[in-house]
Every structure is written in structure tokens, then in C-alpha cells.
A and B are shown apart, each in its own frame.
Chain A
Amino acid sequence: KAGVTQTPRYLIKTRGQQVTLSCSPISGHRSVSWYQQTPGQGLQFLFEYFSETQRNKGNFPGRFSGRQFSNSRSEMNVSTLELGDSALYLCASSLAGPLYNEQFFGPGTRLTVL
């Protein structure tokens, strides 16, 4: 069974630009969660999508948004990039959600904002 895939793996952007990251979950998984990981703050929950609906959201500004398609693939968008958005962005898929089920993480997208 193929794992969670994320594209692109690396990305360099400049301040003010926007970026879209993509995540393909494990086949059959309907929940996709997104996380930001930085050395200072660790792994922080951004939001979770289940069956194309945002079901849970962390404490991030509105510049961070996402969506999920009918095939469960998900995209995350960050608008008006700031230097502090440089991080590893991870997505994780699970059968029914990250709270009470095992999550499977992808390899992440390393975003650098210059």
C-alpha cells in the first residue's frame, strides 16, 4: 500500500508570494491533517479535512487555508508569505481523523521564505 505523498518536497519563495502544497493520502483514508514543524515551536496542528470539509482548525492566521477534493487529496495554501513561515509542512492521513486513530505522515515539504 502506497504511503502518503507530498509535493513538492522543497520550495523556495520570497516574502509576499503565495504557495500551494499538495498531499495525497493513503488509499481509503478520508482524513487529511496538516502540520507545521519548526525548530522553535515544534510540530503544530494547522487543520484537518474529512470528506471535503474542514473539521478542526489550529491557531494559525487566515493566511493559511486548505481544501480537500472528492478523492481525498488535499492542498494547503499560504498567502502573503512571511519569513516566519519557513518550516517543514507535513500532512498526515488517517481513516477517520487524527484524534483517536493512527496517523500516517508524509515526508513533508520544506518551505524556505527569503
Chain B
Amino acid sequence: SQKIEQNSEALNIQEGKTATLTCNYTNYSPAYLQWYRQDPGRGPVFLLLIRENEKEKRKERLKVTFDTTLKQSLFHITASQPADSATYLCALVGDKIIFGKGTRLHILP
């Protein structure tokens, strides 16, 4: 069955550094991969979408890579700020959408 894993439940990063979150998957061939941010008590907010034929996508301080050979996506936040602290979810999109359980990111001042 399809499986999606996000590298860790929680990640602590010093302010100003680059935070890198990992999303690995097996038994699935997604056409797209999406990243969301979720704050406590709120619904997820869409951040970026990357297609299978795209290697990299950028939006302001965010960068996503997608390696279909490794079956992995990396999500980077450069020059991280305490306001970036949240849970980040990746989602595989093919004939259906499957979410990872998320990584709680803490940016330490």
C-alpha cells in the first residue's frame, strides 16, 4: 500500500538558519506533490505545488525539490524566522491525495 513519511515529528532550527523538511514515499507514482502549513487550531494552508517533471520550485524564502527516482521531496525555508514555526504537511497527488503526518517545526530565537 502507499506510504508517505515525513522525516521527523519535530524539528528545532535556530533563527536565521535554513530549515529542511523531508517527505519520502513508497508504492506510489504521484503526478504532483503539495506542501501545506498548519498552525494550531487552524486548517492547513497551501504553500507550493511541484509537478513530477519539475525538479525545483521557489516562492520567496521557500524552495521545494522533487526527486521521483529517490521518491523524495525536500522543503526548505531559508533565513528562518520564529513566525515560520508551524506544522508542515506534504501531500502526494495522483489519482487521489495522500497526506503525510507532518513535521512540527520550531524556529528558536
Contact = CB atoms under 8 A, between A and B. Distances in A.
Interface of A: 4, 35, 41-45, 56, 58, 90, 92, 98-100, 102-108
Interface string B19-49: 0000000000001100000000111111001
A35 B36 CA distance: 14
Interface stretch (B10-18, B61-69, B90-98): B90-98
Interface of B: 31-32, 41-46, 49, 89, 91, 93-102
B67 to A, nearest CB: 20
Contacts of B91: 43
Given A42-B102, A43-B89, A98 B97 contact: yes
B93 A107 contact: no
Contacts, number: 48
Given A43-B89, A45-B96, A58-B96, A105 B101 contact: no
Given A42-B99, A42-B102, A43-B99, A102 B46 contact: yes
B100 A42 contact: yes
Contacts of B41: 107
Contacts of B99: 35, 42-45
Contacts of A35: 99
A42 B49 CA distance: 20
Given A100-B32, A102-B49, A43 B96 contact: no
Nearest to B51: A100
